[in-house]
Amino acid sequence: MLDIYKNVADEVVGMTPSLPLILFNIVAGLRDRLPKGYPVKKLLLLLWKTLLACLGGMKEVNKAKALSRELAGLAPDTNRK
């Protein structure tokens, strides 16, 4: 089952431009105008699920953040819970 999710994540990240980037641009464009009946909640949910598919869960995000801080020579984040 995890192989399926990894394949989906690879395909989503491999798109040109990537799906998260497309969705971010759509959400950013909504600040100027909001068409009536536009499914904003569904768009945000799709963006969230796409980011989870690309980045993994919060554990993976925290691991990536810690590694990025280490590679940049920064001290570990002590504010995490």
Dist. CA 27–CA 22, nearest whole Å: 9
**What's residue 2's pLDDT?**
59
4: which 2 tokens? 């399926």
**What's residue 5's pLDDT?**
65
pTM value surpassing 0.85: no
Q: Show pLDDT as tens, one digit a residue, over the chain (81 residues).
A: 557 666 777 777 777 888 888 888 888 887 777 777 788 888 889 888 888 877 777 788 788 888 999 999 998 888 765
DSSP 21-80: HHHHHHHHHTTT---TT--HHHHHHHHHHHHHHHH-SHHHHHHHHHHHHHHTTPPP-SS-
- 3-state class (DSSP) for residue 37: coil
**What's residue 71's pLDDT?**
93
